[in-house]
């Protein structure tokens, strides 16, 4: 529970009573490598905190091409913001790329008792802002950078995670083929 407490407190000074109440709603869940926390096309209202393991946010095109656009590891929240808040259909999946353990919370169970809470709104704002900022940075990266520049940015942003991510997933993140990634890696950065 300490990891859950620390992650919530990292957002801002939250009252212990609120954190304890949130923690009572959380349950620990194991997800095997290749398994999904959220599946694209399913309705969801789940929020997770990664205790152990590595996840990717991924969407699959109609042609079956995977597009990985984010990674989450220990201490990161995992969710599909719009679907979580509205119980809508998820627009992307959150998949474990390692065996993982998470703290899972049903958003509605969490939200209802805290709707008028300042700290609850602070957490919700932090989650929403984080997701919007990640999308903004990712869009700029894809529009302005070539494959080699995107790979350099990946190595910088995910330096600690790089060795844990298979190359076909890295190429999916970069929006290039595995062959192109091999060429870029051979050229060096």
92-112 pLDDT tens trace: 999 999 999 999 988 878 777
**Residues 92 and 118 occupy one common structural domain:** yes
Q: How many domains does the chain have?
A: 2
Residue-range definition of the domain harbouring residue 175: 145-189
- Poorest-confidence range of 76-80, 90-94, 134-138? 134-138
In the structure, how many helices (H) and strands (E) does the chain have? Answer: 8, 8
Does residue 175 belong to any structural domain of this protein?
Answer: yes
**Residues 78 and 161 occupy one common structural domain:** no
Integer CA distances (angstroms), 103 to 17, 57, 151, 165, 170, in order: 18, 17, 31, 22, 26
Integer CA distances (angstroms), 44 to 35, 40, 105, 146, 160, in order: 16, 9, 11, 35, 30
Does residue 22 belong to any structural domain of this protein?
Answer: yes
Burial class, 104, CB count within 10 angstroms (exposed 0-12 / middle 13-18 / buried 19+): middle
Does residue 113 belong to any structural domain of this protein?
Answer: yes
pTM to 2 decimals? Answer: 0.85
- Poorest-confidence range of 71-85, 109-123, 137-151? 109-123
């Amino acid at each position: 529970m300490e990891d859950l407490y620390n992650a919530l407190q990292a957002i801002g000074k939250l009252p212990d009573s609120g954190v304890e109440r949130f923690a009572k709603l959380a349950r620990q869940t194991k997800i095997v490598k290749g398994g999904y926390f959220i599946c694209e096309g399913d309705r969801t209202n789940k929020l997770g905190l990664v205790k152990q393991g590595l996840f990717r946010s991924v969407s699959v095109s109609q042609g079956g091409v995977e597009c990985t656009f984010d990674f989450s590891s220990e201490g990161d929240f995992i969710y599909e913001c719009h679907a979580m808040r509205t119980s809508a259909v998820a627009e992307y999946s959150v998949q474990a790329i390692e065996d993982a353990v998470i703290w899972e919370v049903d958003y509605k169970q969490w939200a209802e008792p805290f709707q008028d809470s300042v700290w609850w709104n602070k957490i919700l704002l932090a989650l929403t802002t984080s997701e919007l900022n990640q999308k903004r940075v990712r869009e700029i990266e894809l529009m302005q950078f070539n494959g080699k520049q995107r790979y350099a940015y990946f190595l910088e942003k995910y330096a600690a995670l790089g060795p844990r991510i298979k190359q076909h997933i890295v190429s999916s993140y970069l929006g290039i083929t595995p062959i192109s990634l091999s060429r870029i890696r051979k050229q060096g950065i």
